[in-house]
Structure 1
Amino acid sequence: MPVVTPETQDQSAQVQHGAKAHSDGGWDAPEGAFVPVQTRSDRFKSNVPSEHPDVNGREAEWKLTPVDLLRPLIDGELDGSPYPFLVTQTEGADAEWVDRTDARVGLAGQAEEKSSANAWNSFQKALAITITGGETSEITISRSMLGDAARGAHTVITAKKNSRGRVILLNTSQAQLVENVEIVVEDGAQLAVVSVQEWADDAIHLATHFATVGRDATFRHVVVSLGGKVVRVNPSVALSGEGADGELSGLYFADAGQHLEQRVYMHHEGANTKGRVNYKGALQGVGAHTVWVGDVLIGPEAAGTDSYEQNRNLVLSEGTRADSIPNLEIETGDILGAGHASATGRFDDEQLFYLQARGITEHEARRLVVLGFLTEIIQKIGKPELEQRLQISIDDELNRSSSQLVGGAE
């Protein structure tokens, strides 16, 4: 069999059996044609905004996003000054503002998007959160006074070697915010990071969370997005050390005219790593739009990997749209298992019938089904007071729009 290379390929090889080169790029592509990146880890990275191409909304990473609403955060000038926040903490957890030159800044990742680079270029000081305790430590950062000016921010979270802790980021009220959150989980550490978005109805929030997980370390990441006009939280996690364990969970509830988006990337770099991704969402109201893109890459050195990702969406009314795109790349044949799944549908009529047959009203039956569907993710938080608060918030969402709920199975 002849070997075809860019140097030896001729026209006859291109049209064999009537096949033609793709118009989006290739060896014979015309000058300036786009050649797509084939491996998730090969995407361009830079913290300098000018090195990223202009965003036109047709790019793969932006085409499902209302880009016109985000222009001030993608291209505009940002206020990068330190902002007010409330903090509650236990022993072994601390938060402080540090300079851009601090050695902890830049350890976990680099910007893959222009908005992320804009935030990186703009912040004056980073909020550094450090977990050091051998017993489980906890710190909560509450932000509710960011205002409506375009702002760029940077947070660095470090779980020191063999430490145990939980970091909760609570976001409420108004905001026009683009930010990067770097997370370093050192060898043997156990860290949970919970990010809750209960913004005001007109808030816009773009966030990229970069995490690197060391040898025999455990990382739990939970994203809950309920409020805001446009909220896009993109976790990017590298299981770098041998035996690293990562669990990424998410919950979102989109109402009429609301856009909630999450693009998840888990990269198995080390051997014998374990990864789980589980996101669940509900949608109701005309114009409610959710986007979930899940990328899992099992690298060539990640022998013994055990990985699975899934996304489930529950449609509660007409006029909604849920985009769900799972992707899986495997670069080694020596794995324990890998898979992905995605499903979007309406209520299960059998569940409703079962509950109504026992004297429960239709509205209450629907409420129980939705809460049961989403509670699995809420319980991942591990803080009872916050879990109860979020269940009440979801209940309020359902009660406000109960007239929009529809039945029928897809």
Structure 2
Amino acid sequence: MAASTTAPTSAQQTNAHIDPAAQVADAGFVPVQTRSERPRSFEPADFGTPTGREVNWKHTPVARLSGLFTPAESNDGVTYEITSGEQYIADTLAAGTAPRGEFFVPEDIVAAVAWQGSVDGMHVRIPRNEEVAEPILVTVTGQGADKRADSHIVIEAQENSAATVILRHQGSAQYAQNIEIIARAGSRLTVVSVQRWDDDAIHAASHQTRVDKDAQLRHFIVSFGGGIVRVNPNLELAGTGSEGKMYGLTFADAGQHLESQVYMHHKGAHTTGDVLYKGALQGESARSVWIGDVLIGRDATGTSSYEANRNLVLTAGARADSIPNLEIETGDILGAGHASATGRFDDEQLFYLQTRGISEEEARRLVVLGFLTDIVLRLGIPSLESELLAAIDTELAGVNV
């Protein structure tokens, strides 16, 4: 995908493989086969209105997201607070003002709406050669379930810098969000997006990331709250020797829909990728969706890549959809693989714990906690780790597993 600092007025691909939700001019209705073939455009009209039959919408409750298919009129649905690291917030970015749009191009109607509706995009900028000791914390608070908001946030780590940025979401709103992440050469960046919305919140987000030469990016999606939370991360390992790790943790309760469509594109040579998402589900109609796409491009020689999704279903009536995909365009790689598993408890683990004098109820709690803690401990942020472990405990306290 070519870099651009201005928003084109027509779709990026006028002869791309598309489906009825992406009616780009002069194109036929040829179903999308892979994530890399999806059309992209800054114009919402180029995508059409999703029907739920399209490949990127068929697992999503489209009707409940319909409020995000048009721009917010007043755009007052959320407020932003910089809890720490305010000195790293640069001037806002209008559409067409670099680095906004340097890498990001919407690939669905919600992302295009957020692009158009966000007049002044937030810019988190880590200066060259600077190492930021404490996490930069941006808190997004919803102002009510009937309120709408669109946003575009750019997180830029300049050359040889290092930082952690945490985006915390709370309250309730109907929120269309774009996150554009640029990890420039030699940088080390961690981005954590935590969704602890109220039960009636609707949140659809598109995260697009480019990792340049010898840079490292760790990306976390943690979703515990919200009626519908659809966070789709797209990570391109563009530079030689770049490294990307994408981790996710979800806990879906009754009536919740938590979704991530993950895409990792190995574009540069000698790149390393690791994707691991874990989720737990409890309660009638609890739903999680994970779709993982990895593309190893023709120039991505010497690549090492692996993706996995694991789901633990705690009660009857919950459902987890898990779809891993791997596309390889070169044979000169170190290794690549994918895996997916969804199931209930391991009876042998429960039996082992019970033979050590642990009650069945406590044994079940320990198994679930151990399953999810794997992702939490990868954060490396003690305060956030403690908060999330306490949140998991609270969730489990109400489960008859």
* TM-score > 0.5 by shorter chain: yes
Q: 2:54 is matched with which residue: 59, 64, 74? A: 59
Paired with 2:72 and 2:83, the residues of 1 have a C-alpha distance of: 32
Instruction: State the Cα distance separating 1:206 from its structure 2 match.
Output: 0.2
Paired with 1:255 and 1:340, the residues of 2 have a C-alpha distance of: 27
Instruction: State the Cα distance separating 1:41 from its structure 2 match.
Output: 1.9
Paired with 1:209 and 1:56, the residues of 2 have a C-alpha distance of: 23
Q: 2:309 is matched with which residue: 304, 308, 311? A: 311
**Where does residue 388 of structure 2 map in the other structure?**
390
Paired with 2:369 and 2:90, the residues of 1 have a C-alpha distance of: 34
CA RMSD of aligned residues (A): 1.8
Asked if the contact 1:79/1:152 (under 8 Å) is kept, the reply is no
Instruction: State the Cα distance separating 1:94 from its structure 2 match.
Output: 3.1
Q: 1:143 is matched with which residue: 135, 140, 144? A: 140
**Where does residue 6 of structure 2 map in the other structure?**
none
Paired with 1:264 and 1:74, the residues of 2 have a C-alpha distance of: 21
Paired with 2:310 and 2:87, the residues of 1 have a C-alpha distance of: 37
Partner AA of 2:351 in structure 1: F
Asked if 1:124 corresponds to 2:122, the answer is no
Q: 2:251 is matched with which residue: 250, 253, 260? A: 253
Paired with 1:198 and 1:81, the residues of 2 have a C-alpha distance of: 19
Asked if the contact 2:222/2:248 (under 8 Å) is kept, the reply is yes
Instruction: State the Cα distance separating 1:92 from its structure 2 match.
Output: 7.1
Partner AA of 2:100 in structure 1: V
Provide the secondary structure at the position in 2 that maps to 1:35: coil
Asked if the contact 2:303/2:334 (under 8 Å) is kept, the reply is yes
Partner AA of 1:141 in structure 2: V
Provide the secondary structure at the position in 2 that maps to 1:302: coil
CA offsets 1:186-216 (integer angstroms, 9 cap, x no match): 0000000000000001111000000000000
**Where does residue 270 of structure 1 map in the other structure?**
268
- Unaligned 5+ runs, structure 2: 1-18, 20-26
Paired with 2:214 and 2:370, the residues of 1 have a C-alpha distance of: 33
Instruction: State the Cα distance separating 1:394 from its structure 2 match.
Output: 0.9
Asked if 1:100 corresponds to 2:98, the answer is no
**Where does residue 343 of structure 1 map in the other structure?**
341
**Where does residue 212 of structure 2 map in the other structure?**
214
Paired with 1:38 and 1:284, the residues of 2 have a C-alpha distance of: 32
Asked if 1:297 corresponds to 2:295, the answer is yes
Instruction: State the Cα distance separating 1:63 from its structure 2 match.
Output: 0.7
1:1-400 matches, within 5 Å, as 34-75=29-70, 77-80=72-75, 83-90=78-85, 93-132=88-127, 134-137=130-133, 138-148=135-145, 149-400=147-398
Paired with 2:258 and 2:73, the residues of 1 have a C-alpha distance of: 22
Paired with 1:225 and 1:84, the residues of 2 have a C-alpha distance of: 19
Asked if the contact 2:192/2:220 (under 8 Å) is kept, the reply is yes
Structure-2 change in CA distance of 1:237 and 1:66 (3 Å): same
TM-score, normalization: structure 2?
Answer: 0.89
Asked if the contact 2:242/2:270 (under 8 Å) is kept, the reply is yes
CA offsets 1:327-385 (integer angstroms, 9 cap, x no match): 00000111100100000010001111111121212121111111100111111211101
Asked if the contact 1:79/1:123 (under 8 Å) is kept, the reply is no
CA offsets 1:226-273 (integer angstroms, 9 cap, x no match): 000000000000000000000000000001111000000000000000
Structure-2 change in CA distance of 1:76 and 1:89 (3 Å): closer
Structure-2 change in CA distance of 1:363 and 1:303 (3 Å): same
Instruction: State the Cα distance separating 1:81 from its structure 2 match.
Output: 5.9
Q: How many residues align?
A: 373
Asked if the contact 2:89/2:125 (under 8 Å) is kept, the reply is yes
Provide the secondary structure at the position in 2 that maps to 1:216: coil
Instruction: State the Cα distance separating 1:76 from its structure 2 match.
Output: 5.4
Provide the secondary structure at the position in 1 that maps to 2:367: helix
Paired with 1:304 and 1:102, the residues of 2 have a C-alpha distance of: 36
Instruction: State the Cα distance separating 1:303 from its structure 2 match.
Output: 0.6
Structure-2 change in CA distance of 1:219 and 1:295 (3 Å): same
Provide the secondary structure at the position in 1 that maps to 2:79: coil
Partner AA of 1:134 in structure 2: E
Paired with 1:294 and 1:69, the residues of 2 have a C-alpha distance of: 23
Instruction: State the Cα distance separating 1:34 from its structure 2 match.
Output: 3.4
The structure number with the bigger radius of gyration is 1
Provide the secondary structure at the position in 1 that maps to 2:200: coil
CA offsets 1:116-163 (integer angstroms, 9 cap, x no match): 111111111101101125323430001224433121111000000000
Paired with 2:141 and 2:86, the residues of 1 have a C-alpha distance of: 24
Greater Cα shift, 252-261 or 133-142:
133-142
Q: Percent identity?
A: 52
Paired with 1:230 and 1:390, the residues of 2 have a C-alpha distance of: 20
Paired with 2:308 and 2:80, the residues of 1 have a C-alpha distance of: 34
Provide the secondary structure at the position in 2 that maps to 1:85: strand
Asked if the contact 1:298/1:332 (under 8 Å) is kept, the reply is yes
TM-score, normalization: structure 1?
Answer: 0.87
Paired with 1:117 and 1:44, the residues of 2 have a C-alpha distance of: 12
Paired with 1:198 and 1:320, the residues of 2 have a C-alpha distance of: 20
Instruction: State the Cα distance separating 1:90 from its structure 2 match.
Output: 4.5
CA offsets 1:69-112 (integer angstroms, 9 cap, x no match): 01010235454469532213349733553333421110122111
Instruction: State the Cα distance separating 1:173 from its structure 2 match.
Output: 1.1
